[in-house]
């Protein structure tokens, strides 16, 4: 076991001391990490460690204390480790699976009512990442950071209204609040973390399950547009939601569905598609049991195989006739894509934007981030470059490079919040600080 000199101490004038501010924060909030009472020019490694279900991730940065024996991660450059340069959040976005663990995994919060708990350690000298857990390391100071997707004042309400299944997150206060319908992709289930974070930023956010959850359909082939239209109607008419229309945010398959709702429903005023293709994929979308939106099927002969996994980037054939005409109902559109998305060729997004009628082209904002992959998540979370897709039963390469992907996530989140505030009815404002 590593030798440890001091633990946690916020008041430790004569021994190395690790200070984190704030020690409890939302995941989209930057924090300050400083170390004091080191020797002048002492070499140290600062390590972060987090466990979420079976996923165990770690990161580290190499620092040299200043003449006063201090390290301020927001001011001093990391000289090595899992990231280099000056970045107060580098220890978070550069997290990666610990040695011996599968690289094909992802930190995804299954319970937003509990925080992600990050353990921080200051270790003497510059220690290689693979050696950080060896018993010979000397731990000088430790600390803990708790990072939440859900603000403590946000209320979570389990939704079982008719056939609808999901969770509604309401900000503090009496409302009404701007409403947002939130959906994720083709792995199914119910994903709540972004809806909880949106509520923490003042939106009444409905995380909608649509297959592979509770008593919902088991496959994408069984989806019916009526279910999604019911979800829009339910949220738009909710007493805690500001009248006048809602927004829809979707990732991957959820982004395709967001486009379909944007073209189908006047109540949808703002659409955010994150990494969803401009066509409908896998299986036709029904309406009242009959085929309504034709889907492009994957051409399995055009899958690309590598040691990392499978890339589906070239397995769909696009043309303008297959695009989802989201412009039909005049919803504002924010389209966020990664240039290195391994699931589809995001250059088609440019053709999609150009296919908008000239008089509606100002309705869409397209951003294609360089060196960025498919899974564009809230800021400061690590890149998931490859993972197992349980529905397709294959390991998919999502793509992206850690530093560029991190920058994209931070920018994307700011754009999403600004876009929703701009295009949705507003009345109530809340503080997002814990």
3-state secondary structure of 361: helix
Query: Among candidates 306, 278, 311, 305, which has minimal Cα distance to 399?
Result: 311
Nearest to 93 by CA among 387, 416, 372, 417: 372
Contact 279, 256 (CB under 8 A): yes
**Residue 238 host element (H or E):** none
What is the token pair recorded at 202? 């003042």
Name the nearest CA neighbour of 193 among 80, 27, 307. Answer: 27
Catalytic residue (choose from 151, 238, 374, 423): 374
Q: At a CB cut-off of 8 Å and minimum separation 6, what does 261 contact?
A: 181, 228, 229, 232, 248, 268, 271
Q: Is 134 exposed, middle or buried (0-12, 13-18, 19+ CB in 10 A)?
A: exposed
Who contacts 71 (Cβ-Cβ below 8 Å, separation ≥6)?
34, 35, 38, 44, 46, 63, 64, 65
Q: CA nearest 194: which of 176, 207, 177, 185?
A: 207
| 163 belongs to the catalytic site | no
Length, in residues, of the chain = 434
Q: Tokens 């006048």, residue?
A: 244
Structure tokens at 208: 């909608």
Q: Which of 156, 244, 246, 152 is nearest to 207 (CA)?
A: 156
Of the listed 36, 224, 341, 405, which one is catalytic?
Answer: 341
CA distance 352 to 133: 49
The catalytically annotated residue of 78, 186, 252, 277 is: 252
Residue 276: count of CB within 10 angstroms of its CB: 30
Our answer to whether residue 252 is catalytic in this structure is yes
Active site (catalytic) residues: 252, 341, 374
């Amino acid at each position: 076991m590593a030798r440890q000199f001091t633990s946690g101490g916020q008041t430790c004038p004569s021994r190395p001391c690790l200070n984190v501010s704030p020690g409890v924060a939302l995941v989209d909030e930057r924090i300050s990490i400083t170390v004091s009472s080191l020797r002048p020019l002492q070499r140290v490694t600062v390590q972060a460690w987090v466990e979420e279900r079976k996923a165990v991730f770690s990161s580290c940065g190499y620092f040299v204390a200043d003449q006063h024996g201090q390290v301020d991660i927001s001011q001093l450059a990391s000289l090595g480790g899992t990231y280099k340069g000056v970045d107060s959040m580098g220890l978070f976005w550069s997290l990666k699976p610990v040695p011996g663990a599968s690289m094909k995994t992802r930190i995804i919060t299954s319970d937003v009512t509990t925080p992600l708990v990050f353990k921080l350690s200051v270790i003497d000298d510059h220690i290689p990442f693979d050696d950080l857990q060896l018993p010979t390391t000397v731990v000088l100071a430790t600390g803990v950071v708790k990072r939440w997707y859900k603000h403590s004042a946000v209320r979570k309400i389990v939704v079982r209204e008719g056939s609808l299944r999901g969770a509604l997150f309401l900000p503090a206060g009496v409302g009404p609040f701007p409403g947002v319908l939130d959906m994720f992709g083709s792995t199914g289930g119910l994903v709540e973390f972004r809806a909880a974070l949106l509520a923490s930023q003042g939106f009444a956010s409905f995380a909608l399950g649509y297959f592979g959850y509770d008593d919902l359909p088991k496959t994408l082939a069984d989806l019916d547009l009526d279910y999604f239209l019911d979800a829009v109607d339910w949220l738009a008419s909710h007493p805690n939601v500001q009248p006048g229309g809602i927004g829809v945010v979707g990732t991957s398959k959820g982004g395709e569905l967001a486009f379909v709702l944007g073209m189908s429903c006047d109540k949808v005023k703002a659409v955010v598609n994150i990494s969803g293709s401009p066509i409908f994929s896998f299986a036709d979308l029904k309406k009242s049991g009959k085929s309504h939106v034709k889907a492009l099927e994957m051409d399995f002969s055009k899958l690309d195989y590598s040691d990392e996994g499978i890339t589906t980037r070239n397995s769909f054939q696009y043309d303008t006739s297959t695009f989802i005409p989201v412009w039909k109902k005049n919803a504002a559109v924010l389209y966020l894509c990664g240039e290195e998305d391994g699931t589809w060729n995001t250059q088609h997004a440019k053709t999609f934007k150009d296919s908008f009628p000239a008089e509606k082209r100002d309705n869409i904002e397209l951003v294609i981030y360089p060196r960025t992959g498919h899974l564009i998540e809230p800021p400061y979370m690590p890149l998931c470059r490859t993972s197992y897709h349980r529905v397709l039963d294959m390991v998919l390469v999502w793509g992206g490079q850690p530093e560029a992907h991190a920058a994209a996530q931070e920018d994307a989140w700011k754009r999403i919040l600004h876009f929703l505030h701009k295009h949705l009815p507003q009345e109530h404002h809340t503080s997002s600080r814990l």
